Structure 1
């Protein structure tokens, strides 16, 4: 199979260096599938950028990060007493967001390094601002490396970030380091100007690794092609073909993330209309594939298979030859590639 990511290394690294140089205190985020590039590669690049700290999503990702990266590793998922794969290492920084967890961690692992997290309007993890006092009392001999806030992605987060910065400054937490997520460069600059006594450290993932999509291109190999006539039944489900043309068998299926998607935020009337239209087409058994042939995104012949997809091509379009490659649009955070080809 050949569902490959082509990486323009120079262009990609130029972008990484630009973000690093213009974002003081940046903490690279390396989690999940490594944004399609793989966590090992991102850990190596973080080391080359001179980062002293990276953030991973879960404790399961810590051992690999410690092997590939020489600095400290922050775990974004909060420590819980029932977590069975906690890694206790002097380079690991744990996130804590409940008073009872802080007290238990302090009792069991005095000297562990922690980030205290506040509960923002995300309403996901963290302490309410009124819980900071009892949390501080419970810290014991835990080493506080900073205070963290994880903000929404809707934008306009400066006001909330300032509110939490004020909370930190008036608290008795023994830190002046504030870790933030999802502030724009302008918001970061303004927050630093307004809170010069704090060290602001942005945690950045998507805009770092995937901030210049022009440096990445996904190409899928045409594995086979067949001429079919209208009404001919094909595929696992033996659906009739709606018109004469070609069926292309293209590398890339559900094991690569093809055809998989998470629910999307629908904010406007236009967005709702598009979602309704898409849902109606899906109900009728029609769905656009991510593959582009002859400059146009083509329809799936049926839902993608595990490692390949069947795509319909009208008879009036010249079919690519077996062995040719076609571009594919993917959601990198769920994509898996057969190989990454660096140019």
Structure 2
């Protein structure tokens, strides 16, 4: 029994084509865990789209896929002097985010990252004079600006990019190509209208690979089930007394990404109230799992194990059976399924596993 990602390939690829049509010059991003699909699967899709350029997160990822991709590879992690790097092809483009970290890039293909309101890394306006002398030795590919995903207040993303382009134009910097992120098609079109001599290329992974949730789903199967006895403790630590009709063991544990959560920024009273309620449930050892049975999220009976999880399944519906399928709601960017299966059509009932609201128990 395994944790499986199923793809309705035709529907998924139709979405890719629609994104490419809306964003000419699009650069697919294939980084991290491959957005849940794996690097090689995404690289095959990028090759099929014929973009000629794909972006990866690290030099290790570039080395992993460079023999599978016929185009150029943009490494998003900024170059640092003295870094340990595997052998990379001459189709690799490096990112520079500091004038003090440019050693060894003479004759290499380079993109310069600009500091955005995300405040992560990038060249500032004050850095431009120090950058100019070393740029002449590069095969310069353009500038790049990584905008924050959620912009609250202040200037819009297109205006932030436009401000940078005006500064660079005033400094007589080469502006033939600018890579951008997290912009809409309308925002990108406005930039092209204002700066017709500059090519703006959207770098995206989420919009491209995860923008058609109806085309993909995660699912698991029941490995075993036990009717717990009232008052008995269960699990490897034998810490939690359980009650209810069924203890169900399903495929999928921490090695797959089950039970892993990243901190999130809270905004508004509703978000904060839900977070406080979640803390209260956690204090009572009532942790919701990502597994769904009969349209409702099950609770963990014990903390998830490495490759499987034990769930409490309510007893007011049909009893579960070994081998039955269980839908799973997981974040694609942290999930590593055991296998990826391609089918001509994802059953409509599987939409519960792709983000639609489950029934509340």
Which secondary structure state, in structure 2, belongs to the residue aligned with residue 135 of structure 1? Answer: helix
1:140 equivalent in alignment to 2:161: no
Q: Deviations over 1:199-248 (max 9, x none)?
A: 10110110100000110011101000011133221111223444331000
Distance 1:109 1:191, change over 3 A: closer
Conserved 8 A contact 2:111-2:142: yes
Matched with 1:328 is 328
Matched with 1:123 is 119
Distance 2:169 2:86 in 1: 30
Superposed structure 1 runs of 4+ greater than 4 Å apart: none
Q: Deviations over 1:270-293 (max 9, x none)?
A: 101111111221122111010110
Aligned residue among 147, 150, 155 for 1:154: 150
Distance 1:279 1:165 in 2: 46
The structural deviation recorded for 1:88 is: 4.4
Q: Deviations over 1:94-122 (max 9, x none)?
A: 000111112x2xxx342100001111111
Which secondary structure state, in structure 1, belongs to the residue aligned with residue 55 of structure 2? Answer: strand
Conserved 8 A contact 1:169-1:176: no
Matched with 1:56 is 56
Distance 1:142 1:240 in 2: 62
Distance 2:305 2:286 in 1: 15
Distance 1:182 1:32 in 2: 18
TM-score relative to the length of structure 1: 0.95
Q: Deviations over 1:29-86 (max 9, x none)?
A: 0101100000101111101101110000011101122111101100100000132025
Which secondary structure state, in structure 2, belongs to the residue aligned with residue 224 of structure 1? Answer: strand
Matched with 2:348 is none
The structural deviation recorded for 1:314 is: 2.5
Distance 1:20 1:98 in 2: 32
1:173-212 matches, within 5 Å, as 173-212=173-212
Which secondary structure state, in structure 2, belongs to the residue aligned with residue 250 of structure 1? Answer: strand
1:215 equivalent in alignment to 2:215: yes
Q: Give unmatched runs, 5+ long, in structure 1.
A: none
Matched with 2:69 is 69
Distance 2:242 2:33 in 1: 37
Q: CA RMSD in A?
A: 1.3
Aligned length: 339
Which secondary structure state, in structure 2, belongs to the residue aligned with residue 6 of structure 1? Answer: strand
Distance 1:335 1:309 in 2: 15
Which secondary structure state, in structure 2, belongs to the residue aligned with residue 10 of structure 1? Answer: helix
Matched with 2:236 is 236
Distance 1:16 1:204 in 2: 11
Deviates more, 1:81-90 or 1:112-121: 81-90
Which secondary structure state, in structure 2, belongs to the residue aligned with residue 68 of structure 1? Answer: coil
Distance 2:307 2:105 in 1: 46
Conserved 8 A contact 1:133-1:172: no
Matched with 1:91 is 91
Q: Give unmatched runs, 5+ long, in structure 2.
A: 344-361
